[in-house]
Amino acid sequence: MAQQETDEQTQINDGFVVDTEDCEARELAHSERGTVRPITVVGNPVLHRECKDVTEFDDELAKLIDDMFASQKAAEGVGLAANQIGVDLKVFVYDCPDDEGVRHTGVVVNPVLQELPPELRALDESNEGCLSVPTAYAELARPDYAEVHGQDAQGNPVKVRGTGYFARCLQHETDHLYGFLYIDKLSKRDRKDALRQMEEGTPRYETVPNA
């Protein structure tokens, strides 16, 4: 069995995962099994192309997910995509609060961000950062609601939804797996400023030097 029973996300009637229960235990189980890997940074080719679909839901995928949780925790992040540790696969993990302080913890494989109807397209302009652009932050407008469809670690279909900060996380991590960083959505001036912040800062976690 690729994942332990404590890792599974339960689903409610409308098909959305319940990712707010046993968060600490589930995150701890993953991170204790996992190995911390260094974070790739902007300029690394794996971050700038669409990742491959996951087709094998096996122990290797389970190990990757464990390593992603361990790496996310070590870097003090709230979300991490597989290409951020150099793996060219469509997987992201998250351990992120929403604007009400409710913790959400889980994994999405082969995520697809859903198009929102006009009534759900209210924008939230807040600061955003990224482990792959360490020490840099910039304001970026994103919808304050997000819905992602994909699969869990066993290949079962899942749907995840979030509001506020958690919605931003879901959008941010899905973007990663399609080759986009948040700075790609900034104006030229703001992108330049973010890269300057990164150049002047010192990351608090291990990164992979670009060749």
pLDDT, tens only, 133-155 = 999 999 999 999 999 999 999 99
Task: State pLDDT tens for residues 41-51.
Answer: 999 999 999 99
Q: What is the per-residue pLDDT for 120?
A: 77
CA distance 190 to 80: 23
Q: What is the DSSP string of 95-137?
A: EEE-TT--EEEEEEEEEEEPPPPGGG--EEEEEEEETTEEEEE
Q: Which two tokens stand for residue 5?
A: 């029973």
DSSP 84: G
- Tell me the whole-structure pTM to 2 decimals: 0.92
Task: State pLDDT tens for residues 69-104.
Answer: 999 999 999 999 999 999 999 999 999 999 999 999
pLDDT for 59 beyond 60? yes
Has 173 been annotated as catalytic? yes
DSSP 92: E
pLDDT for 10 beyond 80? no
pLDDT for 12 beyond 50? no
**Conformation bin of residue 138: beta by default, left when phi > 0, alpha when psi is -120 to 50:** beta
Task: State pLDDT tens for residues 179-192.
Answer: 999 999 999 999 99
Chain-centroid distance, C-alpha 124 = 19
Q: What is the per-residue pLDDT for 8?
A: 43
Catalytic residue among 173, 199, 200, 206: 173
